Amino acid sequence: MENTSNIYLDKKALAYNIDFLRKEMGEDVLISSVVKGNAYGHGIETYVPLAEASGIRHFSVFSAEEAIKVKGCLKGDIPIMIMGFLSEAQLEWAIENEVEFFIFDFKRLRHAIHHAKLLGKKALFHLELETGMNRTGFDYATLKKEVFPFLKENTTSFVFKGICTHFAGAESISNYLRIEEQKKVFLKLRNAVLKAGFEPEYTHTCCSAATIRLPKMRFNMVRIGILQYGLWPSPEIKIEYLRRKKLQAFNLKRVLTWKSELMSIKDVKMGEFIGYGNNYQTSENKRIGIIPVGYANGYSRVLSNIGRVLINDIRTAVFGNVNMNSLAIDLSNAPEAKVGDEVILIGEKGEHEISVASFGELSNQLNYELLTRLPMDIPRLVECS
């Protein structure tokens, strides 16, 4: 290995997940693949071409920067939707390049129409509606008083691509009441849009969790992030899916594997401390291995003394504090281990697995946070299981 660690994306696993999603959604629901956060750490440049090859025909990102990256690695003429940040110059870029974007305040709406006119193009927008997340979106009063009249004066400068909203925590049953309220508000606002005579092409409200929990809210488009990567938004959502389908077991396939290698081996006498400080003292003579991955490489410091890795089919423990660029593991049960041997930080080997979820549970990080913190500079490589 030339690098201290590599991330591998499993093409077959991704094809399996996307196939599952397509069957689950049916023909009439467009799946937008959400690839913000560097494709949830999978790496936009590596992930997006695989997703396109697996049949994805719409992508969602947070920023214009990400949209530019996605555009650069697509083969086909596939729509990209920016859900978050755009500077005014980037807004102009989006209109010029027919990139779709959310509009959630009147200033962006005015700028969009203004630049569409100057460019002689149409702004392709999705109107975001405020339903109770209280992040971004238009409320009823603003729609009626400002948005509708303004749009009616400018009908030739835009394509009404969609209306949308986002649920505030659909992955947890504890948010049930809040989500129910959001549903009601969304249906009311949607009615107002339709009554005012507009015909948005798409209606979309569902992220992964809502897609499973609220199938009626799928309308004709869903925005799927975490599920396509083979992970569940929360254990609850997986249970809900199994129950509804009356299944005993079902799993998506984890797309990502993270591997490093053994950099050095050392025998340490009983009673010695390992690494910085005195977080770990050996209770007997120990053999330890050093892995060239630390918190600067996305391996959380919280996993000090807690993390688990796989080496030669054996599951073993992280000893002591995770350093900036290295960590120590126990080799007592792997006497054959030698420098250069593969070490799996996330992934499976033989009977053992270090899942993203287990990794996350140990460090109290959500799947989402853990993945998106994997640094950009770890190489992403494609493999086929």
Ligand X SMILES: *Cc1c(COP(=O)(O)O)cnc(C)c1O
List residues binding ligand X (CB under 6 A): 34, 36, 83, 166, 207-209, 223-226, 233
Q: Which residue is nearest to ligand X (CB)?
A: 225
Can 36 be counted among the known catalytic residues?
yes
Please report which helix (H) or strand (E) contains residue 315, including its range: strand 314-319
Cβ nearer to ligand X, comparing 114 with 238 = 238
How far apart, in whole angstroms, are the C-alpha atoms of residue 269 and residue 86?
Answer: 58
Give 7 or 237: the residue with its C-beta nearer to ligand X. Answer: 237
176 is catalytic: no
Query: What are φ and ψ of residue 103, in 5° steps?
Result: -120, 125
The full DSSP string for 144-180 is IIIIHHHHHHTGGGEEEEEEE---S-TT-GGGHHHHH
| Residue of 17, 16, 8 lying closest to 227 (CA atoms) | 17
Looking from the CA of 363 toward its CB, the CA atoms found within 13 Å total 26
CA atoms within 13 A on the CB side of 208: 26
Which residue among 16, 36, 280, 286 is the active-site one? 36
Residue 265's DSSP bridge partners are 289
| Tally of CB atoms within 10 A around 224 | 22
Nearest-angstrom CA–CA distance, 135 and 203 = 19
* Residue 316 beta carbon to ligand X: minimum distance, rounded to whole angstroms: 31
DSSP letter for 257, please.
E
Residue 324 annotated as binding?
Answer: yes
Q: How many residues does the chain have?
A: 385
- From 288, 320, 297, select the one nearest 307 (Cα to Cα): 320
What are phi and psi for residue 284, nearest 5 degrees? -155, 175
Choosing from 12, 176, 188, 276, which is the catalytic residue?
276
Extract the tokens encoding 292.
């060239």
133 is in an annotated binding site: no
Query: For residues 209 and 310, which CB has a smaller minimum distance to ligand X in the complex?
Result: 209
In 3D space, the residue among 295, 316, 296, 292 whose CA is nearest the CA of residue 304 turns out to be 295
Contact, 70 vs 77, CB < 8 A?
Answer: no
Which helix (DSSP H) or strand (DSSP E) does residue 380 occupy? Answer: strand 380-383
CA dist 85 and 93 (Å) reads 13
Distance of alpha carbon 296 from the chain centroid: 21
Beta bridge partners of 126: 102, 162
Annotated binding site for substrate: 135, 324
Give the catalytic positions in this structure. Answer: 36, 276
